[in-house]
Structure 1
């Protein structure tokens, strides 16, 4: 401990080099001989010695990265393009044939009326030619008197039923294509294209 005091006392008598940043240390000796080192001047009645210590300053660090303080406009990602609404498939109708009550599917909800023999309706049990023993050919008057105007009834199908029906028709068309000679395929290929276009809306 005495050696430390001696060294500090010796450093106090050595002129400190002129430096830009220094710290003053005060050595204060009280009346009872106790020694105190502090950074402020000694109290009244104490012997005072000073020593200048060089301040090494903060540890050097790499140059800071320049900060771009230019105000920037807040950027938001562009909105995603709106998905086009899916269009329902073209309406289809489930119809009942007036002559025999058999169901069929049609794209026309109001099919044209047609003439049918009364024999097909159950009103006349035999065809026209048989009524005359097959000896005469039916003429306009005979047809007018033995035929009646018929009208099929149709109901619109739901989009789900329409898509199911289109898929069934497509499968049936593909089966026919696989069993048909190449020369007979053009109408089936045309129908295949039509069905694929309609199924894109399902």
Structure 2
């Protein structure tokens, strides 16, 4: 107990004196053990003890190391999701001949010729058109100059017409794409294997376009 107490007192005294000791000598002579900072005499058995002193030489306490930045998990390191694919530009068009609507990617369709009678301008029966003295004798306008009545002109002549289109909203575009996809899926189910190539290509295109609908 005395020997252990001496070593403890020596260790406590070293920082208080401001001396940084790293080596202690254990001296044994005549059954007595002494711990000291200087080497033992020749008559004493000596044992060198290396002490680890973690305190700075000036007695100040070293600052705590800065902790590493907090890891919020792999989710913070993950790349952001890609932006939604833009919707294709579609137009809702109305046919000039019958007033029926259809969807098109072309908002300015080319004009085309149609019989004047299908436009609903003249509704005379065929008997009145071809049975009168001035009835048309040919469907070509250049052969009917100066002949025919309004009914003849309506049923035997052609005029230039053009469908009218407007841009579709995002909601209308998505609904049109879903309708096309449903129709194409039905066609794929009913098609023979040799007929599925163009339908599968259309299916891939519609799936890509529908990604912009969420």
Aligned 8 A contact 1:119 1:126 in 2: no
- Tell me the distance in 2 between the aligned counterparts of 1:122 and 1:108: 26
Separation in 2 of the partners of 1:186 and 1:137?
A: 46
> Structure 1: which 5+ residue stretches go unaligned?
1-16, 22-65
Cross-structure match for 2:185: 174
Distance 1:189 1:20, change over 3 A: closer
1:184–1:132 distance in 2 versus 1, CA, 3 Å: farther
**Is the contact between residue 112 and residue 162 of structure 2 (CA under 8 Å) also seen in structure 1?**
yes
Task: Give the superposition deviation at 1:137.
Answer: 6.6
- Give the whole-Å Cα distance in 2 for the aligned partners of 1:171 and 1:89: 18
Number of residue pairs the alignment of both structures matches: 143
| Map of 1:147 onto structure 2 | 158
Quick check: which one's helix share is greater? 2
The aligned residue for residue 112 of structure 1 is 110
Q: TM-score, normalised by structure 1?
A: 0.54
- The one of 206, 209, 213 aligned to 1:198: 209
The reply to whether residue 86 of structure 1 matches residue 80 of structure 2 is: no
Query: What does residue 122 of structure 1 align with?
Result: 120
| Contact 2:85/2:209, CA 8 A, preserved across alignment | no
Shift of 1:127: 11
- Unaligned ranges ≥5, structure 2: 8-53, 55-61, 145-152
Tell me: CA distance 1:142–1:93, structure 2 relative to 1, closer, same or farther (3 Å). farther
Task: Give 1:131 shift.
Answer: 6.0
Give deviations 1:64-120, integer Å, cap 9, x for gaps: xx8x96744753656653333323311111111111110111111111111111011
How far the C-alpha of 1:150 sits from its partner, in A, is 0.9
Please show how residues 1-202 of structure 1 align to structure 2 within 5 Å. 20=6, 71-72=65-66, 75=69, 81-125=79-123, 138-139=139-140, 141=142, 146-202=157-213
Q: 1:73 to 1:127 in 2, by over 3 A?
A: farther
Q: TM-score, normalised by structure 2?
A: 0.51
Displacement of 1:156: 1.3
In structure 2, distance between residues paired with 1:124 and 1:189: 46
Q: Distance in 2 between matches of 1:186 and 1:100?
A: 33
Distance, in Å, in 2 between the alignment partners of 1:108 and 1:194 is 17
The secondary structure found in structure 2 opposite 1:87 is coil
Structure 1 residues 152, 176: CA separation in 2 closer, same or farther (over 3 Å shift)? same
